[in-house]
Structure 1
Amino acid sequence: MQNQDVDINDQKFEFSSRTDQKYKYCSLSYDDDDDCPYSFFDDHSFPPLPMFATTSVERRKLKQQQTASVVGSLRYDYYQQTCPQAERIIRSSVRDLFRKQPRIAPALMRLAFHDCFVEGCDASVLLDSADGIHSEKESPPNESLKGYDVIDIIKSELEEACPGVVSCADAVVLAARESIVLAGGPFYPLKTGRRDSMTSFAEDATFELPSPQDDLAKIIESFSAKGFDEREAVTLLGAHSTGVVHCKFFINRLYNFSGTKTSDPSINSEFLSFLKSKCNNSSASLMSSASKSRPPSQLISASPSPSSVVVQLSSTLVEEPAIKMDYEGPGESFGTLYYRSLLQGRGILFVDQQLTAGEETKTWVQAYASDVSLFHKDFGSAMMKLSNLGVLTAPMGQIRRDCRKVY
């Protein structure tokens, strides 16, 4: 059968069979279609292939060689024969937890970005440190990362239904998609069949993740290294439409911008006063001490339950001075307020406000500020691309039974 294009939210996606088309149409109404299939079959009997490179440069080179063509190995309905309820389990878990604690949505979005942007979508961010090797969790950019317990709960439910079948890597990207939908963002199709990395190095996360302090040139460089153009960089940063940002990530803009002991002149004066009222000059030192006393590995319960996740997210996300990214209140369409705020000099993070510093990036900020449909279309495409970065497929990697450790 010839490949056919179908439209989803005015966006064209190519599908190669009737099964793929059924996946798409039923996914758009998955709340009501209990008979809809949700994943594909593949052979999980391949042995894992260890990654033996010792430096970050060697690891990146090896990963590029290994994953040059594996995206083609991902498929819609990958678990259809081995765990047909996999995506339904993930969706149900995320929705149940979201009803109790909406903050899991931005936490899961950020978790997926931090996983995929470092060596690809391979669940390496979930691994605990072991054998004297510091994992990505211990990297400074990840010290405030949340959502590990949510993935643990999802994985335990998947293991109960289909032991040793669904990867942690697939769970991360699918949970992120569900979170985006719950936050008011777009649905986008995802192929599955990712496998889990057997390694995780803190230095990789430190080296590869964008910083809240990055200027425009560095932003473009970081995203370009992962295959994203300027438009896609602006689009993906739109995920900052929701969530909480701790004062320590922008305190320098308020009191000591670029070592000048003054505020960032690009901040709207009224907004500057608001930010200072929420984040005093002592916030940075207080939060630094708090983070040092509670390393990431100690913030995660050994046997998480839905109630423990709610408690954890409620406490750790608000006990430190912070500001909601949607600080003017809920009700705005996902993305719109964020981009409008940047045009008004009301970007909270320096990395966000820098998007108005370049001609092309500002053009897209203006476009998304006035057209939420365009943003949703582009955001869905960019998230599909992000979710396919550096994936491992059989025989590489493994299917972890416990997302925190290799076996």
Structure 2
Amino acid sequence: MRNIGIKCLLICVMFSSLYSVKSDLELGFYEKSCPDAEKIIYDYVKKHIPNVPSLAAALLRMHFHDCFVRGCDASVLLSSTSNNKAEKSASPNQSLRGFDFLDRVKSLVEAECPGVVSCADIIALVARDSVVAIGGPYWNVPTGRRDGLISKSSEASRELPAPTSNFSALQASFASKGLNLLDLVILSGAHTIGVSHCQSFSNRLYNFTGKGDEDPSLDGVYAMNLKEKKCRTPKDMTTIVEMDPGSFRTFDLGYYKHLLQRRGLFQSDAALMSNAATKSAIIQLLHNPLEVFFKEFALSMEKMGSIEVKTGSTGEIRKHCAVINS
């Protein structure tokens, strides 16, 4: 049992061991083939993320979106071709940011060790180092991932949990990737940093059941504030809103505090409060020091980063992250 001590999740965590992710990844995979690879990545992230701290959330989200479709294989970085609509073009991915940042990191690593370090490993390492750069938790990133050859928009639309997901949909989505309810709660905590566009949750404000109504699970004062100061029309496509108001640049417990106040921005956030086990987990997190959340987040991120990885001779090491090697 993990240290959080949530009795109501004990059965879930025990059963999750049956689906624990196993892979051939290893710490220090590039120690001989490209010994400076991780330092090059870390140094670049450490230098630039403090200047654009909002990018940390975007790069963490990129890692999540990559791993939930075909596993952590950088398929999210591939561009569409005349014959194929790639994951990038799927609706959930059209708001992703950080592609140029990852390309710059890749070019530095390629200059040092051509054709050695995968784009999939770069995503995983950059996500971790970016979170650390803004004062968030550190987690182990075993490496050795290889890059996938397939990227389909339809799969991204189907596999990625939507901000409108209810609890059953979230549970099924995470379970399909070998992640349990505790992982769901902990990984949702990534919403403590970053922003969202109004269009991702405006239905909760203006048309929750298709009758021009408001989501009753959303705090009325918070909803009114969003409508009057942020998302003034149902079709607002440009305004951005903090997912953790007041501390959206700080990796803390603010997100969970807002959930208890019925002020989670997405329907998928509110869904965590609709289940006794996940609600209890949230309360337990808030009764523990921040370090407990950091430790649990590290465990769940390492688990997520190993989903359906390609290793050995599967896939390839792309020269450019947006295109398959010719």
TM-score relative to the length of structure 2: 0.90
In structure 2, do the counterparts of structure 1 residues 72 and 118 end up closer, same or farther at CA, with 3 Å as the change threshold?
Answer: closer
C-alpha displacement of 1:118: 0.6
Read off the aligned partner of 2:160 and give its amino acid letter: L
Equivalent residues in 2 for 1:268-279, closer than 5 Å = 268-279=219-230
Equivalent residues in 2 for 1:271-350, closer than 5 Å = 271-282=222-233, 284=235, 286-287=236-237, 320-329=238-247, 334-350=251-267
Larger RCO (CA under 8 A, 6+ residues apart): 2
Match of 1:148 in 2: 99
Equivalent residue in structure 2 for 1:378, among 292, 296, 307: 296
In structure 2, do the counterparts of structure 1 residues 99 and 196 end up closer, same or farther at CA, with 3 Å as the change threshold?
Answer: same
C-alpha displacement of 1:71: 4.5
In structure 2, do the counterparts of structure 1 residues 69 and 130 end up closer, same or farther at CA, with 3 Å as the change threshold?
Answer: farther
Q: Does 1:362 align with 2:313?
A: no
Where in structure 2 are there 5+ consecutive unaligned residues?
5-18
Give distance in 1, aligned partners of 2:88 and 2:242.
23
Read off the aligned partner of 2:119 and give its amino acid letter: C
Give distance in 1, aligned partners of 2:116 and 2:48.
23
Contact 1:278 1:321 in 2 (8 A): no
In structure 2, do the counterparts of structure 1 residues 237 and 329 end up closer, same or farther at CA, with 3 Å as the change threshold?
Answer: closer
Contact 2:56 2:130 in 1 (8 A): yes
271-280 vs 147-156, which deviates more?
271-280
SS in structure 1 of the partner of residue 35 of structure 2:
coil
C-alpha displacement of 1:330: 5.7
Equivalent residue in structure 2 for 1:115, among 66, 69, 84: 66
Contact 1:212 1:250 in 2 (8 A): yes
SS in structure 1 of the partner of residue 97 of structure 2:
coil
Match of 2:87 in 1: 136
SS in structure 2 of the partner of residue 257 of structure 1:
coil
Give distance in 2, aligned partners of 1:146 and 1:70.
28
C-alpha displacement of 1:229: 1.1
Read off the aligned partner of 2:162 and give its amino acid letter: S
SS in structure 1 of the partner of residue 317 of structure 2:
coil
Q: Does 1:397 align with 2:296?
A: no
Give distance in 1, aligned partners of 2:213 and 2:23.
51
Read off the aligned partner of 2:274 and give its amino acid letter: A
Give distance in 2, aligned partners of 1:214 and 1:330.
22
C-alpha displacement of 1:341: 0.5
In structure 2, do the counterparts of structure 1 residues 331 and 129 end up closer, same or farther at CA, with 3 Å as the change threshold?
Answer: closer
SS in structure 2 of the partner of residue 177 of structure 1:
helix
Give distance in 2, aligned partners of 1:385 and 1:188.
10
SS in structure 1 of the partner of residue 209 of structure 2:
helix
Equivalent residue in structure 1 for 2:196, among 245, 259, 282: 245
Identity %: 40
Give distance in 2, aligned partners of 1:70 and 1:394.
17
Read off the aligned partner of 1:402 and give its amino acid letter: H
Match of 1:185 in 2: 136
Q: Does 1:173 align with 2:91?
A: no
Aligned residues: 308
Equivalent residues in 2 for 1:187-202, closer than 5 Å = 187-202=138-153
Where in structure 1 are there 5+ consecutive unaligned residues?
1-9, 12-67, 288-319
C-alpha displacement of 1:82: 1.4
C-alpha displacement of 1:281: 4.6
Give distance in 2, aligned partners of 1:148 and 1:274.
33
Superposed CA deviations along residues 214-262 of structure 1, whole A, max 9, x for unmatched, are 0111111111111111111111111111001100001010111121312
Contact 1:337 1:369 in 2 (8 A): no
Read off the aligned partner of 2:296 and give its amino acid letter: D
Superposed CA deviations along residues 289-341 of structure 1, whole A, max 9, x for unmatched, are xxxxxxxxxxxxxxxxxxxxxxxxxxxxxxx2011123224686x24100010
C-alpha displacement of 1:369: 2.4
Superposed CA deviations along residues 248-297 of structure 1, whole A, max 9, x for unmatched, are 0010101111213121111112211221123335352x52xxxxxxxxxx
Give distance in 2, aligned partners of 1:148 and 1:273.
35
Read off the aligned partner of 1:389 and give its amino acid letter: I
Give distance in 1, aligned partners of 2:65 and 2:227.
29
Equivalent residue in structure 1 for 2:77, among 95, 108, 126: 126
Give distance in 2, aligned partners of 1:355 and 1:186.
22
TM-score relative to the length of structure 1: 0.73
C-alpha displacement of 1:185: 2.2
Contact 2:86 2:152 in 1 (8 A): yes
Match of 1:222 in 2: 173
In structure 2, do the counterparts of structure 1 residues 265 and 359 end up closer, same or farther at CA, with 3 Å as the change threshold?
Answer: same
Match of 2:57 in 1: 106
Superposed CA RMSD in Å reads 1.9
Contact 2:166 2:267 in 1 (8 A): yes
Read off the aligned partner of 1:382 and give its amino acid letter: S
Contact 1:74 1:193 in 2 (8 A): yes
Equivalent residue in structure 2 for 1:80, among 25, 31, 35: 31
SS in structure 2 of the partner of residue 245 of structure 1:
strand
